Structure 1
Amino acid sequence: MNIILTQINGIPIRRNFVENLPYNPHLKKLLSGKRQAGILSEVLFWTQVRAKTFHNIDFDRQRIIGNYIVDFYVKTLGLIIEIDGSSHDEKEVYDGIRQTYLESLNLKIFRITDFDVKNNLALVMKELEAFIIENYRC
């Protein structure tokens, strides 16, 4: 049975809650530092999605999953949003291992670039809508 979470452009979106995700409590002390760092692209994206302002979908910022901290997480979809900036340069192997692990938990990952968030946020939000429709439509 599909439980409808929301609608995007009139298309029903099904809930896809992934239960019992692993959590490393030792990473918790890193969260406040990451949030206080105020990375511009993350702040810009957060202003678009906080407080259920994006199609009434609840986003978490800086969520611990296993041994990783993801930029944004939508519990009700099992969806991770990653903003890739210069910190991801030269880290293709690490990012690949991380992505494989997160996908093994039945999570989906939507990647956007720091540049796109800063320079074309409206397009980023349209691409996120399209990704959600493609992966979670009823």
Structure 2
Amino acid sequence: MTTISDEALIAAARDAAQHSYSPYSHFAVGAALGFADGSVVTGTNIENASYGLALCAETVAVGKAMADGVRGGLKTVAVTGPGADPITPCGRCRQVLNELAQLGGTDPRVLCVGPNEVRETRLSALLPDAFGPASLD
């Protein structure tokens, strides 16, 4: 099993943020998903003039992974954005990440990245008692 380092995953998230389309909020976010096989899928936020149609970086990354057939092995998520403090995934993104994580039976580490600090937590701590595929059985 190949693993990607936290530093490389954070760098991938920061690089993804450079491709943000955020002309309204000017809040460029990047996300990188690290999988057990060593692969990395990135995403960035994409805004829309109809504000409610914006897509978060984590949701874009999960969509890319799922579109490529990835259904498990999510080990680590890195999320970065502007500002002085590390950011965490929003509520919707926590739920979207949870779907992918539950499909593979994982509780991924989440690296909340700021310019000078990285806070590490688990998805289950960000979304306790989560609703997911197992809830429908």
TM-score (norm 2): 0.31
Larger strand proportion of the pair:
1
Larger helix proportion of the pair:
1
